[in-house]
Amino acid sequence: MKGFLNNGFSPSTVIFYILFTFTAMACAGTYSGGSGTAEDPYKISTVADWQELITSSTDWGKYFKLIADLDMSAFTGTQYNMVGNSAIPFTGTFDGNLHVLSNLTIKRPSEGNVGLFGKIGPFGQVLNLGLENIDITGFYDVGGLVGTNDQGTITACYVTGTIRGDSDVGGLVGWNFEGTISACYVTGRVIVDLREGYAAGGLVGESWRGTITACYATGRVDGCVEVGGLVGFNEDSMITACYATGAVNGECWSVGGLVGENYFGTITTCYATGTVNASEYVGGLVGSNGNGTIKDCFWDMETSGQTTSAGGEGKTTAEMKTQSTFTDVGWDFVYSDGNPPVWKMGPDGYPALFWEFRYSGGNGTAEDPYKISTVTDWQELIATSADWDKSFVLLNDIDFAGANLTPVAPDTDTGEWNWFQGMPFSGTLEGNGYVFHNGVINLPEKDYVGLFGYVVSPGRISNFGIENFSVVGRNNTGGLCGANGQGSTPGGEIADCYVIASVEGGNAQDYLGGLCGTNRGTISGCYSTGTVTVGERSYQIGGLCGWNDGGIIRSCYSIGTIIGGSHSYYVGGLCGWTRDGMIQTSYASVVISGWYSGGLCNVNENTPIMACFWNRDLAEFVKSDGGRALTTEQMKTLSIFQNAGWSGNGWVMADGQDFPRLAWENTGAPPIPVPGPVPLAGKGTESDPYQIHTAEEFAMLNWHGSVLDKHIQLMDDLDFTGIDLYPIGDQWNPFSGVLYGNGHILRNMVFNEPGINYIGLFGCLNASAIVQNLGVENMTLTGRYHVGGLCGENRGIVRDCSANGLIAETQLSVIGGLCGENSGTLSRCYVSGSLLGRHRVGGLCGKNAGLINDCQATGAIQGNSYTGGLCGQNTGILSGCNASCEVEGWWEDTYLGGLCGMNGGEEQPGGIIVDCYSAGSIACDGGAYFIGGLCGSNPGIIMDCFTISSIRCWMHNYFVGGLTGGNGGTIRRCYAAGSVRGSGDSNDFGGLSGGNGGTIKGCYASGSVTVGDFSEGTGGLIGANSGMISTTPL
């Protein structure tokens, strides 16, 4: 008994059974709730509710929904009154909601319009309802479900049991008067008076001007006249894509395996196989045909025992079980334009309706998922959007043999750069470790391209592989899915999957990845290998994921090649661009080409990247915004991953032989073990710190994630000549312990990481970190962003530390002699060296939002903007500090100062500088703005400071002053004694400030101010003033 186990239907040729979704609201006193509207149907959950329906004829035009199976055995004989009758038919909508009514008995042998529903009137609908083990007896117009269907619609219903009567008797419907029946079946028996009864059919007794589509009947039918396995008497009606297999016995005439008599009716693409017996006008398919049309229909001559029929073509059993018998005359067995076929060959060898045997079994629930075992099953999923929220399971590998596929859940919009339009996949696919092979998805003019186009929460794809696939798409293209969520829509979960494929996009295509184009969900335990190729001007391209927008990537890897065309930006071995997400315990080993590329990620906006690595030997441009660069040899070193905390994250590894692999790959390698003890004296506690005696021991710290919160002390001066170094901690895994320098010095250290952020002895110090009494000498430092001799960023406390003979360089931003950025405290520190950067460059600190007190910087500083002898930009406090540096800018520099480039920010509060001074010199090329002996621009507060720095600028410079280039804040009790020189066409030069729009009190300037021809706004104190100037110091 099939029940609703596999119900479904093909919309390409016949009507797919209709599923209604209603929002339920409890309403006490009527049925089990609801208000009888389409949005809030009455709810039927008990036999008492059904009895209420029977007796409430005023409700027979309303909406109902069955929310539980019902045992109707309480009704016997004449106790059951029908819903709907000849006087008041049922004209509402009854949604069985895939539930079943069972054990119903009706005994009304002298009455008509007998069935669960006596009569359905115009616009009445019954759908998704099953009747099981029924026993119904009537006189005329008798059906298991409906006695008379008068212009109503019956969809996706079934009946099992026995139905008896005298005339117009059918297993489902007695008389179908201009009604529509689709996707229904009957397995019960139909019996009509053998002496004079007429119009008996396995599904319908008589159909007049009605439509019957994609239905079947398998039960025995006994009658006298007009007896058919499916329909007894078919008058001026259409029967399409139906079949009957039950035995048909007629004591009189007009008896057929499918239809007893066809009078002006049309029958197409139908067949019958049941035994047929009668005395005259008997046929294997149709008993008699009066001016009707019978086209492309067949019957089995062997099983029916009939070699003739009033229509159709007789075939042998072998021919009936051969698909070409039917496809040769146009039966639909194939997918067309993404729509499923009408037919498929059933398990008994005969054609079956496609909706009967959905996939290879199952009913789409979590407990009994649809089973995928063939190419046809997958094509059915592609074509059936109603199933994209259902559960699926693979039963075996599937070879597509180069077949062209379209995505499950594709974008229905043909335009470019529109958000996804269509229905996403929100169901589940459990791969069971099976693999799809040799598929092609070639949609170069479509967005959201992959095996799945668009996946959203709570969707889940797991334990599944794709091999030897070719995927070509436009924006949002990936081997497994085009996008896993996007924008404000969260994605689903992709777990323990892999892709071996080539993924390709054209020119100006964005968001492409080996596994998925965009991720806003979770990807865990996955990998991709193969090639990702894009044309010129394409953005956000990744080996695993092109654009990780708020998503989580955990324990994944990418191995392969990324080929970016000219002007292709944001290309990453694992992820091209990540924002507001998380990436952890993952790696990339990818050959990369692209204008802006990164070994792991090219751009990272606020995404913690923890314990991740990338192979620097393969990347054409050695840089990455996150992750640690390793050589190929190091990528095969177990201890690196062990000490980074990869144990327990699903990884295995053969030390020295292979990269880490996922445990489910079954490589035979052992699991990565838990980190071993740190091989240092001491316990890392405050009372018993780890002891560092050698340079090798210190260099080892950066490999052990477990030391990041420990106490460490130096026991001797250390020389690092010839020793490879890497920062301890980074911005997402900062050092939060304590380092006691004990006055010792670290010498000859080299950090050469031009493509890496957060470079220094420590990558980042957390708020609880303390570094004290430590000296560094002869350090050479190269990084990308956040570069400092002691740390890339400080959020904690650094005191009594120094860096002498420092050479530091970055081609980008935030570089300082001691730390790149400070939001903590720097106290009693000293730096001497040379620094080169572009933005936010400072002798001590590139950018300060914390406290710097009693610190000093000397040396040569070169930058393009926000460049100062002590600090490039200050939004915090500078107190008791001084700088004696040669500060040099480039062409069109902005915000250069002997102590600080800018004291404040354009969209930030002004900083405070108190009791500080600067000496040395400031030099800038032409086109520079805001150059000052102490501070280039001051929107904050400067008090009790002075400068003796000299300034020399070339032509076309603006707002240049001995103390500040421009002041929009407050300056009190300060003076400038250095000279200010400019060439021709230089405007707003002043001995104290080039321009003033703020407040200046109790200040003076004693240095000379010299400009060339065609210059304007020059003054001994102020070049241009729109603010307040007072000699009063308070």
Give the pLDDT confidence of 857-895 residue by residue, as tens digits: 999 999 999 999 999 999 999 999 999 999 998 777 799
Residue 400 has pLDDT above 60, yes or no: yes
Q: Which of 327, 342, 360 is the last residue of a domain?
A: 327
**Looking at per-residue confidence, does 113 or 336 come out higher?**
113
356 in a structural domain: no
CA distance 266 to 24: 42
Residue 28 has pLDDT above 80, yes or no: no
Q: Which domain holds residue 148?
A: 42-327
Q: So what's the pLDDT on residue 197?
A: 82
853 in a structural domain: no
1028 in a structural domain: yes
Q: So what's the pLDDT on residue 857?
A: 97
CA neighbours within 13 Å on the CB side: how many for 826?
A: 39
Q: So what's the pLDDT on residue 621?
A: 57
* pTM of this structure: 0.78
* CA distance to 22, 24, 35, 70, per residue, from 28 (Å): 18, 13, 10, 20
CA distance 322 to 638: 59
* CA distance to 386, 455, 460, per residue, from 425 (Å): 10, 5, 9
**Looking at per-residue confidence, does 632 or 346 come out higher?**
632
Give mean pLDDT, residues 388-410. 95
Q: So what's the pLDDT on residue 954?
A: 82
Residue 103 has pLDDT above 90, yes or no: yes
CA neighbours within 13 Å on the CB side: how many for 290?
A: 11
Quickly count helices (H) and strands (E) in the chain.
Answer: 8, 111
Same domain, 264 and 132: yes
Beta bridge partners of 4: none
Task: Answer for the pair 577, 606: CB distance below 8 angstroms, yes or no.
Answer: no
Give the gyration radius of the chain's Cα atoms: 41
User: Which residues fall within 8 angstroms of residue 951, CB to CB, at 6 or more apart?
Assistant: 921, 922, 923, 931, 932, 933, 960, 962, 978, 979, 980, 981
Residue 568 has pLDDT above 90, yes or no: no
Question: How much is the mean pLDDT over the chain?
Answer: 92
Q: Closest Cα to residue 228, out of 219, 237, 241? A: 219
911 in a structural domain: yes
Residue 562 has pLDDT above 50, yes or no: yes
Read off the amino acid at residue 927. G
CA distance 684 to 976: 50
Residue 336 has pLDDT above 90, yes or no: no
Q: Closest Cα to residue 461, out of 383, 401, 388, 514? A: 388
Query: Strand pairing of 343-345 and 351-353?
Result: antiparallel
Task: Answer for the pair 426, 461: CB distance below 8 angstroms, yes or no.
Answer: no
Give the percent of the chain with pLDDT over 90.
81
Residue 337 has pLDDT above 70, yes or no: no
477 in a structural domain: yes
Token pair recorded at residue 222:
């006994």
Read off the amino acid at residue 725. L
Confidence of residue 27 (pLDDT cuts 50, 70, 90): very low
Q: So what's the pLDDT on residue 624?
A: 87
Q: So what's the pLDDT on residue 29?
A: 47
CA neighbours within 13 Å on the CB side: how many for 258?
A: 33
CA distance 114 to 165: 9
Same domain, 323 and 399: no
244 in a structural domain: yes
* φ/ψ (deg, to 5) at 341: -75, 175
Token pair recorded at residue 596:
């802006």
787-802 pLDDT, tens digit per residue, is: 999 999 999 999 999 9
For the beta carbon of residue 373, count every other beta carbon within 10 angstroms. Answer: 17
CA distance 578 to 590: 18
CA distance 954 to 952: 7
625-651 pLDDT, tens digit per residue, is: 889 999 999 999 999 999 999 999 999
Query: Strand pairing of 512-513 and 477-478?
Result: parallel
Same domain, 312 and 407: no
Token pair recorded at residue 754:
């031009």
Q: Give CA 506 to chain center in angstroms.
A: 22
Q: Poorest-confidence range of 267-276, 613-622, 649-658, 1019-1028? A: 613-622
- Which residue has tokens 């789409």? 364
Work out how many domains the chain is built from and give that number. Answer: 3
Q: So what's the pLDDT on residue 2?
A: 41
245 in a structural domain: yes
713 in a structural domain: no
Q: Which of 294, 327, 360 is the last residue of a domain?
A: 327
Residue 22 has pLDDT above 70, yes or no: no
Q: Which of 599, 626, 653 is the last residue of a domain?
A: 626
708-759 pLDDT, tens digit per residue, is: 999 999 999 999 999 989 999 999 999 999 999 999 999 999 998 887 889 9
User: Which residues fall within 8 angstroms of residue 114, CB to CB, at 6 or more apart?
Assistant: 82, 106, 108, 136, 137, 138, 139, 141, 142, 143, 147, 165, 174
Q: So what's the pLDDT on residue 913?
A: 98
Task: Answer for the pair 152, 176: CB distance below 8 angstroms, yes or no.
Answer: no
**Looking at per-residue confidence, does 799 or 412 come out higher?**
799
- Which residue has tokens 């300056």? 971
Q: What is the CATH number of the domain that holds 525?
A: 2.160.20.110
Q: Poorest-confidence range of 434-448, 837-851, 949-963? A: 949-963
* φ/ψ (deg, to 5) at 318: -60, -40
Confidence of residue 1003 (pLDDT cuts 50, 70, 90): very high
Same domain, 295 and 400: no
356-367 pLDDT, tens digit per residue, is: 877 888 889 999
Q: Give CA 686 to chain center in angstroms.
A: 45
